[in-house]
Copies of this chain bind each other. A is one copy, B any other.
């Protein structure tokens, strides 16, 4: 069932977003608890603006959401984004398994 409602561009953005250790760490954190952008920025040895950019990349990739609360922006993990990415890789493994089965079938043809 290779039915993900994601365009190629969206998948690009998703994997691209995950291809950075800082961003993966942010995702892991905001899946566990809520953070403001500045709360996140405190966790890393880089400028606020840099962290802000990382969050923006994750938001565009549908891996986190931001919600304004007072003067803060609360960042939350978007687990269905993660799930969609995982399902894509599931598809690859399934394709591969089908091929293996096909080969074994041929080999065992008596």
A→B interface (CB under 8 Å): 8, 11-16, 18-21, 24, 27-28, 31-33, 77, 79, 82-83, 85-86, 89-90, 92-93, 95-96, 99
Contacts and interface: CB of A to CB of B under 8 A. Distances in A.
A99 B31 CA distance: 8
A24 B9 CA distance: 12
A21 B32 contact: no
Contact of A12 (B21, B79, B95): B21
Contacts of A85: 89
A34 to B, nearest CB: 11
Nearest to A92: B82
7 contacts: A15-B18, A19-B19, A28-B92, A32-B95, A32-B99, A77-B92, A82-B96
Nearest to A102: B32
Nearest to A86: B89
